[in-house]
């Protein structure tokens, strides 16, 4: 069945920059009404202004790690939009520190942002989504959630947990017309590595070479939107090296991890 985006309201978190911004612009171009969320109201408004038919879209800023703010944001979304057809859980933070150098509080912060905040918001949305006859939940995981590498221990764990949680959600709610898709980005040219947390919780502040050479956010959005439009549930959007690593992992995990140990991953 062809997706009629003109009838859809899509809520996108982390919409103020990076792949969230690119997805917002791409879906708006196809006619969907977008609810843009993130912490920075001015940045969200700037993204909204770059969207097709900008006046139809809605900006709802909030801190996704704050449970009370999440509830208030959802109530505001319902009042202003009337319904939410798709929820794209895109907000998140990355990591650039070795496990032995990472404080436990930093690992907890990464898990709170990248896992608990996403599942919390999804549970808020689901009751009304089920009552209206269906909807789609999209989780932005990561290739790091499929392949454990150096400097991303907690980040990879959080993204893997999100992937498994989405699998369970898909199995539990399929009969209630809830679709669940998980996207696994590889290296994408965004500020993800600049904002990534180091062992003490401070931001790395620099761009990784691999990230700088990754796919553009626009190219990512083009592939992701096409896959979601076609009803795909497991969507890998990455460069050739990341895709090769995933294939090797399926055939021989020991071989892959030998290659990872010998590589410069950071």
Q: Give the SS3 label for residue 211.
A: helix
Instruction: Tell me whether residue 234 is one of the annotated catalytic residues.
Output: no
Q: Which long-range contacts (CB under 8 A, 24 or more apart) does 155-158 make?
A: 155/93, 155/94, 155/95, 155/110, 155/114, 155/196, 157/111, 158/110, 158/111, 158/113, 158/114, 158/115
What span, in angstroms and rounded, lies between the C-alpha atoms of 153 and 34? 33
Query: Exposed, middle or buried by CB within 10 Å (0-12, 13-18, 19+), for 46?
Result: middle
What stretches of 55-103 show up as alpha helix (H) in DSSP? 67-81
Q: Which of 5, 74, 115, 155 is catalytic?
A: 155
Residue listed under structure tokens 């006619």: 31
Contacts of 203 (CB under 8 A, 6+ apart): 194, 195, 196, 197
Determine if residue 99 is left, alpha or beta; phi over 0 gives left, psi from -120 to 50 gives alpha, anything else beta.
alpha
Q: Are 143 and 236 in contact (CB under 8 A)?
A: yes
Catalytic machinery residues:
155
């Amino acid at each position: 069945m062809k997706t009629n985006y003109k009838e859809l309201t899509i809520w996108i978190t982390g919409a103020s920059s990076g792949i969230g911004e690119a997805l917002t612009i791409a879906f708006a171009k196809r006619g969907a009404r977008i609810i843009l969320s993130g912490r920075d109201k001015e940045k969200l408004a700037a993204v909204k202004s770059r969207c097709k038919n900008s006046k139809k879209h809605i900006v709802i800023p909030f801190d996704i790690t704050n449970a009370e703010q999440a509830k208030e944001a959802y109530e505001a979304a319902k009042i202003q939009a009337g319904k939410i057809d798709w929820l794209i859980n895109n907000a998140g933070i990355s990591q650039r520190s070795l496990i032995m150098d990472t404080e436990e509080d930093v690992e907890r912060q990464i898990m709170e942002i990248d896992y608990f905040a996403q599942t919390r918001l999804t549970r808020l949305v689901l009751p009304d989504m089920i009552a209206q006859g269906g909807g789609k939940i999209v989780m932005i995981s990561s290739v790091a959630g499929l392949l454990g590498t150096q400097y991303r221990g907690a980040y990879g764990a959080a993204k893997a947990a999100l992937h498994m949680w989405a699998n369970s959600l898909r199995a539990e709610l399929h009969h209630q017309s809830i679709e669940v898709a998980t996207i696994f980005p590889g290296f994408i040219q965004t500020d993800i590595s600049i904002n990534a947390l180091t062992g003490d919780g401070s931001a790395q502040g620099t761009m990784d070479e691999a990230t700088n050479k990754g796919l553009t956010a626009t190219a990512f959005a083009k592939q992701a939107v096409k896959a979601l439009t076609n009803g795909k549930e497991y969507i890998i959007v990455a460069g050739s090296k990341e895709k090769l690593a995933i294939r090797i992992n399926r055939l021989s995990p020991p071989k892959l991890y030998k290659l990872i140990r010998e590589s410069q991953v950071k």
